[in-house]
Structure 1
Amino acid sequence: MTGQPTGSDGRSRGGKVRVKTARRRSPQSVRWLERQLNDPYVAAAKAQGYRSRAAFKLKELDQQFDILAGVDRVVDLGAAPGGWCQVVKERRPRARVVGMDLLAIEPLAGVELFQKDITDDDSEALILATLGGAADLVMSDMAANTVGHKMTDHLRTMGLIEAALDMATRLLRPGGGFVSKVLAGGGDGQLTALLKRHFTVVKHVKPPASRKGSSEWYVVAQGFKPAGITAPADAPAPI
């Protein structure tokens, strides 16, 4: 993959960096800092001007599924800090891209950014008006802020995923695509069944840039079927 961190084993060539435990730094913070300092994707993102290592996840998904091919209108839900928007504009310079997040996002050339809750009543209309039409692709890399309770954190993040999918079904054109972070190999059965109801092809994947120890996976859903529209008889079966 172009831009992937070098080294066949993906390891830092400078040796592992260790962070000393400071009086005001918790062991958890130390582990996080060490992981960041020793992560080749973090270093590559900085070197190549991406706002986050997550940019490589989207690049890898696009390389495998060609999800950005031919897209002219793209929505990025939970867009902060803007790494995915950067990749879209790099791949499709003329595409209209709208990013929305509760957090403020530094301006990005060619991207319309809104600091707003995607569940607000007027968010959908705002996105459609800004795009100038239905979206070709809706993306979401959202995850809830963790509280330290595994089940609670899982349910909160799954709620965001479901909210993103719900919005996607109202924003997408027929045949459009949806890419989203999910958890634990693709989410629960109810979410997977819902995805297969709305898309002709649904696949789950863990891109190389996704940390091995993380429970995150990604769903790539293609061939959107609006309510009341059935897939052609020769359409690919859901996976």
Structure 2
Amino acid sequence: MVSSSDEPAPVQDGGQHILVVAGDPATVELLSTTLELAGYLVAVAYSGTEALSRLGGFRFDLVVLDLTLPDLDVLARRHRVTGERPAVLFLAPADSLGMLLTAMGRAGQDYVTTPLRIAEVLVRVQVLLRAWSPARRLRVLSYGDLALDDASCEARRGPRPLELTPAEYRLLRHLLVNSGKVLSKEQIAGHVWGEYRGGNAIEQLVSRLRRKVNQERPALIHTRRGFGYWLGSPTP
């Protein structure tokens, strides 16, 4: 693990640099070890002030940021004046989503709630790094009049912007890149949350997204009863 006083190692074989910022040493240890085993190059910081110093001296691809840090405002000030900003994965207690909505507000951001589910963290890290990498910042995915801009994490149906939550955006993107293919609930849950969620969590998520996308015709999101969901134009 890279200690808080060491500089990150040089990029090897295209490895991506991640800065883990959290006040709890056990959380820092868990995240840094997990991310290193996944092949990322990891540095750590235990406060907003320390993170600010690290970000000023090195360009990271992603910051994993604990929203409960007491000096989080120093990083917020930096982001307002800095043009080159890494992607950010927020760590947020489930009862502090109001704070999360205030902190978020630009492309290249996502969140996971604590207690952490490591599989979900790894999925969110992977998705953020893919969407926010310099090589993909201009990437726009489309199907008919539906368009997703990975640079801004925004979606449109024709001229109408779709106001999507991060989970809805991940679901719509997954359906779009697999257009015409029926995706099971297990496949969708693994991509959106990093784990299977029982009950009607997936049905509710698909229902919310369908209401937003299918306002125009033709409807694009469909159900294949007993099998899953798919995106595409129905056969006349």
Question: Could you say whether these structures have the same fold, taking a TM-score greater than 0.5 normalized by the shorter chain as the test?
Answer: no
Task: Give the TM-score category using the shorter length.
Answer: 0.3 to 0.5
TM-score (structure 2 length as normaliser): 0.36
| Higher share in helix | 2
TM-score (structure 1 length as normaliser): 0.35
Q: Which has the higher contact order (CA 8 A, sep 6+)?
A: 1
